[in-house]
Amino acid sequence: MFKANAWVISVLMGLGHLRAAYPLRDLAHEGIILYGSQRSTPLREYRIWRRLRKIYYFSSNVGKLPLLGKPLLNLLLAVQQIQPYYPRRDLSGPNTAVRYLDRLISRKGLCSGLLERLDGTPLPRIHSFYATAMAAARRPGPAEDYLLICDSDFNRVWVPRDPRSGRLKYLAPCTQVRNRLLAYGVPPERIFLTGFPLPKENIGGREDLEILREDLFRRLLRLDPKRKFFSYHLRSVLGWLSQEEVPQASPGHFNLTFAIGGAGAQCDMALPILRSLQQSVLADRVRITVSAGINKKVYERLLGFINRLNLGGEMASGRIGLVYDPDVYAYMDKFNRVLRTTDVLWTKPSELSFYCALGIPILMAPPIGTHEELNRCWLREIHAGVDTAGPLRFTHEWLFDLLENGRLAEAAWDGFLKVRKLGTYKIEDLIRTGACSEGNSPLEQ
Amino acid sequence: MIKVFFLSILAVSLFTTGIYLFFTLRFRPKKNITVDQGHYFPRVSIFKPMKNMVDDLAENLESYFTLNYPNYEIIFGMDTLQDATIPFIHSLQSRFPEIPVSIIATGHSDEQNPKIFKLARMESGSQGELIWVTDANTCVAADTLNRLVLEYRRSSAHVIFSPIRGTGSRSLASLMENMSLSLFTSGNIITAWKAFKQQIIVGKSMLIEKAALGHFGGFSYFSEFLAEDFVIGEAFENSGFKLSCDCTWIDNVSRSTTFRSFFLRMARWAKLRLRLKPVFYVMEILLNPVALSLALPFLLPGRGWLALAAAWTLKIAIELVSYIVLSRGEQEPWRNFLMLPLAVILKDLILLIVYFVPFFSRTIVWQGGNITIGRRTSIGGRGERIVLEGA
Which residue segment(s) compose the domain that B225 sits in?
39-162+202-253
pLDDT of A253 reads 92
* Cα A432–chain centre separation: 25
**Whether A249 contacts A428, CB under 8 Å:** no
pLDDT for residue A172 is more than 60: yes
* Angle between helix A407-418 and helix A210-223 axes, rounded to 10 deg: 160
Contacts of A24 (CB under 8 A, 6+ apart): A6, A8, A32, A126, A197, A424, A427, A428
- Integer angstrom CA distances of residue A330 from B256, B300, B389, B390: 48, 65, 12, 12
Interface subset of B 327-386, CB within 8 angstroms of A: 383-386
Residue at B82 is within a domain? yes
- Search chain B and give the residue with CA nearest A13: B386
Please give the mean pLDDT across all residues of chain A.
92
Return d(Cα A293, Cα B166) in angstroms, integer. Answer: 43
Least confident residue range of A155-164, B88-97, B365-374 = B365-374
pLDDT for residue B110 is more than 90: no
Model pLDDT for residues A344-383, shown as the tens digit of each residue = 999 999 999 999 999 999 999 999 888 999 999 999 999 9
pLDDT of B172 reads 95
Same fold, A7-198+422-433 and A201-418: yes
pLDDT of A192 reads 97
pLDDT of B38 reads 66
**Whether B199 contacts B277, CB under 8 Å:** no
CATH number of A7-198+422-433: 3.40.50
Residue B232 and residue B144 in one domain: yes
Residue at B195 is within a domain? no
Mean pLDDT on B287-305: 92
- Search chain B and give the residue with CA nearest A327: B388
Peptide bond into A140 cis (omega under 30): no
- Integer angstrom CA distances of residue A99 from A13, A103, A428: 21, 6, 33
Return d(Cα A346, Cα A20) in angstroms, integer. Answer: 19
H/E element, B9: helix B2-26
**Whether A327 contacts A335, CB under 8 Å:** no
A2 by DSSP, 3-state: which? Answer: coil
Mean pLDDT on B185-201: 94
- Integer angstrom CA distances of residue B367 from B115, B226, B238, B380: 9, 12, 29, 16
Model pLDDT for residues A90-126, shown as the tens digit of each residue = 999 999 999 999 999 999 889 999 999 998 899 999 9
Closest CA to B340 of B164, B138, B163, B169: B169
pLDDT of B293 reads 95
Residue B242 and residue B267 in one domain: no
Please give the tally of structural domains in chain B: 2
Q: In what order do the strands lie in the sheet with A320-324?
A: A320-324, A286-293, A254-259, A344-347, A362-364, A385-387
pLDDT for residue B59 is more than 50: yes
Least Cα separation, residue B391 to chain A (angstroms)? 5
- Report residue B138: phi and psi, to 5°: -105, 150
pLDDT for residue B34 is more than 70: no
Residue at B315 is within a domain? yes
Residue at B180 is within a domain? no
- The one-character DSSP state at A153 is S
Mean pLDDT on B259-280: 95
* Cα B24–chain centre separation: 15
Residues of A in contact with B378 (CB under 8 A): none
Model pLDDT for residues B200-222, shown as the tens digit of each residue = 999 999 999 999 999 999 999 99
Residues of A in contact with B388 (CB under 8 A): 12, 34, 37, 327-329
Contact of B240 with chain A, judged by CB distance below 8 Å, is answered with yes
Model pLDDT for residues A186-236, shown as the tens digit of each residue = 999 999 999 999 999 999 999 999 999 999 999 999 999 999 999 999 999
Residue at B32 is within a domain? no
- CATH among 3.30.300.30, 3.40.309.10, 3.40.50.2000, 3.40.50.150 for A201-418: 3.40.50.2000
Residue at B17 is within a domain? yes
pLDDT of B12 reads 94
pLDDT of B387 reads 39
Model pLDDT for residues A140-150, shown as the tens digit of each residue = 888 999 999 99
Model pLDDT for residues B60-83, shown as the tens digit of each residue = 999 999 999 999 999 999 999 999
Residue at B142 is within a domain? yes
pLDDT for residue B389 is more than 60: no
Residues of B in contact with A329 (CB under 8 A): 388, 391
Model pLDDT for residues A46-69, shown as the tens digit of each residue = 888 888 888 888 877 777 778 787
Mean pLDDT on A246-275: 90
- Which residue ranges make up each domain of chain A? 7-198+422-433, 201-418
Return d(Cα B106, Cα B124) in angstroms, integer. Answer: 11
Residue B229 and residue B337 in one domain: no
Least confident residue range of A16-30, B24-38, B289-303 = B24-38
Q: What is the DSSP secondary-structure string of B204-261? A: TEEEEEHHHHHTTTSGGGGTTBS-HHHHHHHHHHHTT--EE-----EEEE-SS--HHH
Q: Which residues of A touch B (CB under 8 A)?
A: 12, 22, 25, 28, 30-34, 36-40, 50, 53, 296-297, 300-301, 303-308, 312, 315, 326-329
pLDDT of A415 reads 98
Return d(Cα B331, Cα A307) in angstroms, integer. Answer: 47
pLDDT of B330 reads 61
Residue B230 and residue B332 in one domain: no
Model pLDDT for residues A269-324, shown as the tens digit of each residue = 999 999 999 999 999 999 999 999 998 999 999 999 999 999 999 998 999 999 99
- Search chain B and give the residue with CA nearest A330: B391
Residue at B387 is within a domain? no
Percent of chain B as helix, strand, coil, to the nearest 5: 50, 15, 35
* Cα A408–chain centre separation: 19
- Tell me how crowded residue B124 is: count the other CB atoms within 10 A of its CB: 8
Return d(Cα B132, Cα B123) in angstroms, integer. Answer: 11
* Cα B258–chain centre separation: 18
pLDDT of A248 reads 84
Residue B268 and residue B284 in one domain: yes
| Region for B12 from its dihedrals, namely left if φ exceeds 0, alpha if ψ lies in -120 to 50, beta otherwise | alpha
B344 by DSSP, 3-state: which? Answer: helix
- Integer angstrom CA distances of residue A176 from A85, A185, A419, B330, B390: 9, 14, 12, 83, 32
Contacts of B263 (CB under 8 A, 6+ apart): B350, B353, B354
CATH assignment of the domain containing B78: 3.90.550.10
pLDDT of B390 reads 33
Q: Cβ contact (<8 Å) for B235 and A300?
A: yes
Return d(Cα B86, Cα A277) in angstroms, integer. Answer: 55
Q: Cβ contact (<8 Å) for B215 and A315?
A: yes
Pairing state between β A191-193 and A254-259: unpaired
Residue B239 and residue B323 in one domain: no
